């Protein structure tokens, strides 16, 4: 009731920005809600079909796949949100055509190179002690998954949010589960190998469908202009953003990676289930960020600081209260939810509580990461995320041998608190914009 009144008040305010965000968010909430449910269901089915050990092996290897796939994108997954709105606003159609084309070409090429290097590390050199066939299939995912993520951001930056997330959030888990069911039940057995194989097969039609979307959504005028490439400028912005994205992803996946490396595959699977459940608490934040990130890029291109503050204020107003309700709901029902994965997974309840508290803190700062990165302060963001990762890894190496997987959960939540607080201070200092929800309310009063 309170949230409904708040949305009504915001909706009735003057200024198209509020109505734009809320109208777009309703579609984003729907697609993200259904997609998050499907992804969560897929994790439950994977855990039940594979068992704790095989699910842990799959989760451990897929965490590495996510890191390597992100590397293949060269930072375009973030910089597109800055460049595409800028080029559309400035009617720089040649540059728009160039960055849409070259970002995808480079991602696919670098993805193949990264996959080959990853295979050497995983299999031939035996760095991470992964079976050769698992390494081959896992690395086959890298270029396709990297291209999928970059094309999501191309479509998203063109303001087609529903289409951007329909493929990865809805189609991907449905196709993955369907293929896994066929491979597991009808042809072979359920294992980490069949889970990865079904994933790589399903990615092929998905990236082709995305390419068709992009051809439809890019302004038609780009077809009649000369393609303009500014790789030096693009990489100058994108590579620092790539570093940030990799650091953030490693931070997110570090718990699974450390637990899988120092404890066991079973413990890694339990940790993954708790982490996936805790992330449900940030659902509203994730959905709102899909809308506001391109708007931040467009507002910065116009140098409209007042609009930036409005975007942050509305984003926080929509996300924080909902995140608290969902977060504490997960804490109260978490043991039962984890039991859906399987009886063994209920031992991760204490991990879920710790990780859920970290997600609530994450929601309290709103889109602060995008705000800093998309307004030209990416080097400051590098310092923050690098420091948070180093602190997190140091805490994990200290606490995991003593507390087990709980040590990884504590370290992860502490890193979230440090990075969000630090970024919020930077936003206030460099941009004059408050991001923490508590400061927004005190200023409004």
Task: Give the start-to-end residue ranges of the domains of the chain.
Answer: 2-444
* Mean pLDDT, residues 284-306 taken together: 72
User: Between 68 and 442, whose confidence is greater?
Assistant: 68
Whole-angstrom distance, CA of residue 246 vs CA of residue 255: 15
Helix (H) or strand (E) holding 286: helix 283-301
Confidence (pLDDT) at 330: 79
Look at phi and psi of residue 93 and say left if phi exceeds 0, alpha if psi is from -120 to 50, else beta.
alpha
Q: How many CB atoms lie within 10 A of CB 198?
A: 21
How confident is the model over 288-313, as a mean pLDDT? 73
- pLDDT of 10 higher than 60: no
Q: How confident is the model at residue 12 (pLDDT cuts 50, 70, 90)?
A: very low
Structure tokens at 384: 């923050």
Residue 206 confidence (pLDDT) above 90: yes
Q: What per-residue confidence (pLDDT) applies to 204?
A: 92
In this predicted model, what pLDDT tens digit does every residue of 37-92 receive, in sequence order? 788 888 888 888 887 778 877 877 887 788 888 888 888 887 887 788 888 877 88
pLDDT band, very low/low/confident/very high, at 130 (cuts 50, 70, 90): low
pLDDT at 336 over 50: yes
Distance, CA of 338 to CA of 270 (rounded, Å):
9
Residue 97: C-alpha distances to residues 40, 80, 158, 160, 309 (Å):
36, 12, 12, 17, 31
Label residue 26 by pLDDT band (50, 70, 90). Answer: low
Task: Give the alpha-carbon dihedral of 343, 202, 69, 374, to 10 degrees.
Answer: -100
CA quadruple 234, 385, 36, 39: dihedral, nearest 10: 90
């Amino acid at each position: 009731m309170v949230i409904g009144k708040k949305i009504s008040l915001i909706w009735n305010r003057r200024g198209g920005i509020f109505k734009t965000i809320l109208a777009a968010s309703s579609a984003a909430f729907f697609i993200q809600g259904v997609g998050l449910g499907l992804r969560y269901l897929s994790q439950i089915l994977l855990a039940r079909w594979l068992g704790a050990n095989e699910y842990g092996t799959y989760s451990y290897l897929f965490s590495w796949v996510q890191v390597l796939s992100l590397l293949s994108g060269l930072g375009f997954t973030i910089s597109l949100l800055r460049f595409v709105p800028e080029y559309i606003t400035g009617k720089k159609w040649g540059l728009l055509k160039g960055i849409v084309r070259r970002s995808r070409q480079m991602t696919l090429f670098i993805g193949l190179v990264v996959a080959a290097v990853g295979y050497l590390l995983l299999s031939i050199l035996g760095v991470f002690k992964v079976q050769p066939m698992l390494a081959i299939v896992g690395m086959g995912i890298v270029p396709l998954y990297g291209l999928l993520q970059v094309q999501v951001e191309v479509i998203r930056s063109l303001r087609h949010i529903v289409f951007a997330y329909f493929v990865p959030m809805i189609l991907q888990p449905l196709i993955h589960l369907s293929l896994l069911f066929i491979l597991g039940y009808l042809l072979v057995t359920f294992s980490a190998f069949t889970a990865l194989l079904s994933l790589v097969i399903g990615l092929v039609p998905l990236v082709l469908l995305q390419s068709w979307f992009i051809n439809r959504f890019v302004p038609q005028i780009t077809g009649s202009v000369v393609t303009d490439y500014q790789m030096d400028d693009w990489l100058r912005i994108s590579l620092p953003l790539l570093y940030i994205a990799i650091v953030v992803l490693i931070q997110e996946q570090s718990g699974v990676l450390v637990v899988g490396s120092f404890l066991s595959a079973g413990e890694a699977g339990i940790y993954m289930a708790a982490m996936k459940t805790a992330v449900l608490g940030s659902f509203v934040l994730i959905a709102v960020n899909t809308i506001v990130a391109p708007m931040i890029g467009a507002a910065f291109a116009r140098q409209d600081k007042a609009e930036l503050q409005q975007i942050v204020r509305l984003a926080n107003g929509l996300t924080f209260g909902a995140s608290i309700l969902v977060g504490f709901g997960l804490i109260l029902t978490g043991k039962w939810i984890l039991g859906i994965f399987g009886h063994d997974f209920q031992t991760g309840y204490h991990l879920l509580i710790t990780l859920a508290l970290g997600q609530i803190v994450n929601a309290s700062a709103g889109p602060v990461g995008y705000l800093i990165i998309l307004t030209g302060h990416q080097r400051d963001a590098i310092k923050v995320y690098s420091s948070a990762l180093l602190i997190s890894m140091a805490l994990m190496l200290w606490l995991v041998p003593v507390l087990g997987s709980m040590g990884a959960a504590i370290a992860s939540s502490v890193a979230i608190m440090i990075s969000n607080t630090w970024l919020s201070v930077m936003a206030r200092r460099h941009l004059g914009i408050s991001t923490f929800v508590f400061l927004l309310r005190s200023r409004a009063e």
